[in-house]
Amino acid sequence: MSEGGRPRARPGRPDDGAADEALDRKSGRAKPIEAAEAAALAANPYVPSGRHMDWDKLRVFHAVAEAGSFTHAGETLNLSQSAVSRQISGLEDSLNVPLFHRHARGLILTEQGELLFHTAKEVFGKLAMAEAMLSENRESPKGPLKITTTVAFGSNWLTPRMNEFVERYPEIAVSLLFDDNELDLSMRQADVAIRMSPPRQPDLVQRHLVTVNFHIYAARSYIERRGQPKTLAELSRHRLIVYGDSPHPPFPQVNWLANLATAAGGAPDIPVMNINNYHAIFRAVQSGIGVAALPDFIARDQTEMVRVLPEVEGPKVQAYFLYPEELRHSKRIAVLRDFLLQKVAQTQF
């Protein structure tokens, strides 16, 4: 969905008045669970009929399933390993099913555990979304904001500009999550994504952010040792550093340089180095290992780098600003979007 487009029609959520209830610990009175969450739990055959799920134990279970061990989950929850283990054992006893296979190397979810984890993940994702929407301040942007993008874009372009953002909006608590794999925004693994390809997830609002240009670069030290290629065919005699095979590359045609060199002069004589991260490719080129295609915003202003075959243009990669439809009216996202648009307008990509 485009940012200016009309929202998609969605199926209505059932409201049968029979949602499960949970007890308020302070008052002892029942309070309704959000209907979608109650339905998700009711659909799980491993939640006993007539019982209420212990939310504390479910929260611990979710953390253990994410971390893969009692120890790491305890660090996240600020609990001891033994306290986490007792919570999980108590949950397993109440459900009368095993949730984990215990191994020396860690924990593996059972079939029942996988089903409960999927349900818990959905529930906690919706709760996080609701919390974010409720914490919005009508007067000024406030609250947590998780931003995910690729390692190269985040490390080399985004991070150096975030000081100005946090100074301008001190009540926004920013978390930067750099990963070349796509995080699931619908499950609130992040609030906002900057990606180098159109979204594959449904129900995301997208805004074109910038067009990123790629060219061929090498370090001066490499050129001094091995010479500078004058044609594409000569690239076959140089060390090429490429992204390599990946089921989820950061953008299409990620290995365009290797394809050009092969088409012009056959396979390179020296084995190609494969690195599945453009920030690391940049550091490899910078150290003099070989020649690579790099985004201009990383390499152009580096004095130790030389642009090779300047007439050869790489693909133009489109970067998008993405966020869930539910956060369309979030002030935190609006100010971040406007800030980024201002900054990309000041940058030569």
Helix residue spans in 70-110 (DSSP H): 70-77, 81-95
Q: Let me know how long the chain is.
A: 349
Angle at 270 between CA 264 and CA 275, to 5 degrees: 90
pLDDT higher than threshold 70 for residue 2: no
pLDDT of residue 293: 93
- How many helices and strands in the chain, by DSSP H and E? 12, 14
State whether CATH 3.40.190.10 applies to domain 214-315: yes
Mean pLDDT (the chain) is 80
User: For the chain, percent helix, then strand, then coil, each to nearest 5?
Assistant: 40, 20, 40
pLDDT of residue 75: 85
Determine which of 75-89, 183-197, 259-273, 330-344 has the lowest per-residue pLDDT on average. Answer: 259-273
Distance of CA 225 to the CA centre of its chain: 39
Q: Which residue, chain included where needed, has tokens 């305890």?
A: 74
> Could you tell me the strand order of the sheet in which 172-178 lies?
172-178, 143-149, 192-195, 317-324, 204-212
Supply 54's token pair: 């212990």
Task: Look at the domain 21-134 and name its fold.
Answer: Arc Repressor Mutant, subunit A (1.10.10)
pLDDT higher than threshold 90 for residue 252: no
pLDDT higher than threshold 60 for residue 6: no
Determine which of 23-37, 136-150, 154-168, 255-269 has the lowest per-residue pLDDT on average. Answer: 23-37
- The pair phi, psi for residue 179, each rounded to 5°, is -160, 130
The strand pairing partners of 144, in sequence order, are: 173
What gap in Å lies between CA 315 and CA 211, rounded to an integer? 10
- CATH code assigned to 143-206+318-345: 3.40.190.10
Which contiguous run of DSSP H or E holds residue 121?
A: helix 111-134
pLDDT of residue 219: 95
pLDDT higher than threshold 80 for residue 127: no
Which of 36, 41, 40, 42 is CA-nearest to residue 11?
A: 36
| Beta carbons within 8 Å of 204's beta carbon, 6+ residues apart | 1, 185, 186, 322, 323, 324, 325
What gap in Å lies between CA 96 and CA 98, rounded to an integer? 7
pLDDT of residue 55: 82
| Beta carbons within 8 Å of 53's beta carbon, 6+ residues apart | 41, 47
pLDDT (mean) for 152-177:
94
Choice between 277 and 23, residue whose per-residue pLDDT is larger: 277
pLDDT (mean) for 329-346:
92
> 16-48, pLDDT tens digit by residue?
333 333 333 333 333 444 444 444 444 444 444
pLDDT higher than threshold 90 for residue 234: no
* Domain 143-206+318-345 and domain 214-315 have a common topology: yes
Domain locations along the chain? 21-134, 143-206+318-345, 214-315
> 58-79, pLDDT tens digit by residue?
889 988 888 888 888 888 888 8
pLDDT (mean) for 84-109:
87
pLDDT higher than threshold 80 for residue 109: yes
pLDDT higher than threshold 80 for residue 104: no
Which of 190, 179, 186 is CA-nearest to residue 145?
A: 190
pTM: 0.61
